């Protein structure tokens, strides 16, 4: 098979159907720009949600009295629960110091005694920082003798879980719709190119050209459409992100920055969309026009 011929024919397709080609490249570019921005929003929103999750901790308050002999035993029991990463003991004295740091008052001087109970600060493993897992861990903590009460930000975790699921579903739906639309438009452009060359294709078939030889130029044509769309989209996203980061300043600008490889993914996705669109047309329409 003459690869050079296939490449030349694929490039000539740009001249034969310029308007359709421009529309197809524009559609791929627009779809990838939207996909790219939704991906940036999704990734940065996920980071923001994760930062809220990372701040969530449990606190298990202990029954009185607590001694230096009893709390290590309770701590050992806590560490045996799946999903717990770290446990830190807070004595009554430390609790009073924390109260003074936060409220500026010495609770011993206000009440003439320290009513704050000893407790354990409990930090969860990353995959357990959700409402369901935290609920199970809280239930198991309450079953341990010596623990009086377990508190954590239940409402915040439930809210984060609901919003995260909703955002994933919306992003997935939009992404699928844009992807299908791009593939359809590339496929339609290649179909028009195939139809315009139907007589040449039939002639090539009659003189013994193989199916692969006939199809390859159209595949290259679709690939080039996707590549150009991907490159245009990457360039536009880079420019928008760069200036958005400058306008937002250092602190907020971090929420719109993306890694350099992201632009390579956008260009690669364009190639994939173009190739899929051309494959669909080639497999479906070349067989129909050959008599």
pLDDT digits (tens, 9 = 90+) for 105-155: 777 666 677 777 888 898 888 888 888 888 888 888 888 888 888 888 877
What are the DSSP calls for 235-279, one per residue?
HHHHHHHHHHHHHHHHHHHTTT---THHHHHHHHHHHHHHHHHHH
pLDDT digits (tens, 9 = 90+) for 19-76: 767 777 887 888 888 888 888 877 777 777 777 777 778 888 888 777 777 888 888 8
Q: What is the mean pLDDT of the chain?
A: 78
| pLDDT value of residue 288 | 52
| pLDDT value of residue 234 | 92
pLDDT digits (tens, 9 = 90+) for 222-268: 788 888 889 999 999 988 888 877 777 666 556 667 788 888 998 99
List own/partner pairs for 98-104 with CB under 8 A and 24 or more apart. Answer: none
Query: Which residues are registered as beta bridge partners of 60?
Result: 120, 150
What are the chain's domains?
A: 3-52+160-289 (no CATH), 57-152 (3.30.70.3040)
pLDDT digits (tens, 9 = 90+) for 64-85: 777 777 888 888 888 888 888 8
| pLDDT value of residue 146 | 84
């Amino acid at each position: 098979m003459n690869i050079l011929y296939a490449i030349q024919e694929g490039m000539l397709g740009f001249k034969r159907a310029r308007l359709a080609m421009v529309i197809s490249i524009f559609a791929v570019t627009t779809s990838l720009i939207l996909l790219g921005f939704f991906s940036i929003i999704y990734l940065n929103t996920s980071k923001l949600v994760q930062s809220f999750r990372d701040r969530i901790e449990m606190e298990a308050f202990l029954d009185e009295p607590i001694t230096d002999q009893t709390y290590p035993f309770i701590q050992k029991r806590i560490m045996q629960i799946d999903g717990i990463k770290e446990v830190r003991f807070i004595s009554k004295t430390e609790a009073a110091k924390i109260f003074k740091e936060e409220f500026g008052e010495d609770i011993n001087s206000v009440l003439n005694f320290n009513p704050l109970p000893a407790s354990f600060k409990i930090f969860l493993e990353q995959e357990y920082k959700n409402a369901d897992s935290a609920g199970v861990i809280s239930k198991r903590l309450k079953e341990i003798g010596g623990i009086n009460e377990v508190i954590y930000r239940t409402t915040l975790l439930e809210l984060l879980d609901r919003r995260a699921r909703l955002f994933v579903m919306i992003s997935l739906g939009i992404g699928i719709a844009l992807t299908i639309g791009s593939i359809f438009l590339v496929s339609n452009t290649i179909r028009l190119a195939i139809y315009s060359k139907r007589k040449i294709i039939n002639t090539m078939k009659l003189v013994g050209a193989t199916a692969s030889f006939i199809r390859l130029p159209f595949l290259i044509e679709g690939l080039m459409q996707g590549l150009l769309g991907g490159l245009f989209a990457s360039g536009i996203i880079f420019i928008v992100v760069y200036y958005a980061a400058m306008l937002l300043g250092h602190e907020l600008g971090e929420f719109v920055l993306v890694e350099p490889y992201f632009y390579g993914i956008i260009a690669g996705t364009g190639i994939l969309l173009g190739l899929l669109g051309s494959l669909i047309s080639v497999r479906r329409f070349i067989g129909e026009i050959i008599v």
